[in-house]
Amino acid sequence: MAESQEAPQPPRAPSLERRPRFTPLQRWGLPLLALAPVLALTGLLGVTSQRVTATEGPLTLEVEHPNRARKGVTATLTVTVRNAGPAPLADVVLELERGYLESFEEADVEPAPDAATQDAFRFELGELEAGASRVVSAVLTADRYWRRPGTARVEAAGVPPLSLGFATFTFP
């Protein structure tokens, strides 16, 4: 067998100006398909957290909640109760809306609630020294999508109750 140095070439295809055309379906379908990656790149479809804070006298309630979550992906809710005053606060009780926590498929709450009423889980935080804070956190896994609102409420002896509303939107 003799090896060819220069491979022969078959007839070339005729040239044609390369000018793409799109069908009407492609003209509106392609931007539609691009929407999901663009929204993802801008972070609008991502799992995000938001922090809301309320203060009443020496008592501060801070809730860092999943603002946007995704079905099947864990997110963390952190509630911090702080005594910003110069004196200790007695009988501090935190309540987390039961409907909010129970709307998740899984909610690992730390520490475990001391009691449960019809509407809320109660956490008896006891006495809070000046400058001290207590944290209750929950690792949440959503199985249903859409918006779920929640409320955190804290009260202490001699201080008006303080409550904060928040919400989590879960993407499918």
* Neighbouring C-alpha atoms within 13 Å toward the C-beta of 40: 7
Q: Please report whether residue 90 would count as binding another protein according to CB under 8 A.
A: no
Amino acid at 100: Y
User: Which CB, 38 or 157, lies closer to another protein?
Assistant: 38
Q: Please report whether residue 27 would count as binding another protein according to CB under 8 A.
A: no
Size, binding site for another protein by CB under 8 A? 30
Interface pick for another protein out of 28, 43, 102, 161 (rule CB under 8 A): 43
**DSSP class per residue in 108-163:** EEESPPSEE-SSEEEEEEEEE-TT-EEEEEEEEE-SS-EEEEEEEEEEETTEEEEE
Token pair for residue 27? 């003209």
Q: Please report whether residue 34 would count as binding another protein according to CB under 8 A.
A: yes
The one segment of 35-43, 93-101, 130-138, 151-159 that binds another protein by CB under 8 A: 35-43
Q: What angle do CA 119, 121, 124 make, to 5 degrees?
A: 135
Q: Please report whether residue 40 would count as binding another protein according to CB under 8 A.
A: yes
Q: Please report whether residue 8 would count as binding another protein according to CB under 8 A.
A: yes
Element holding 30 (H helix, E strand) = helix 24-41
59: helix, coil or strand?
strand
User: Which CB, 46 or 57, lies closer to another protein?
Assistant: 46
CB of 72 to another protein, least distance (A): 4
CB of 30 to another protein, least distance (A): 7
Please state whether 72 falls in left (phi above 0), alpha (psi between -120 and 50) or beta.
left
Q: Please report whether residue 46 would count as binding another protein according to CB under 8 A.
A: yes
Under the rule (CB under 8 A), what is the footprint of another protein?
1-5, 7-10, 18, 20, 30, 33-37, 39-43, 45-46, 70-73, 171-172
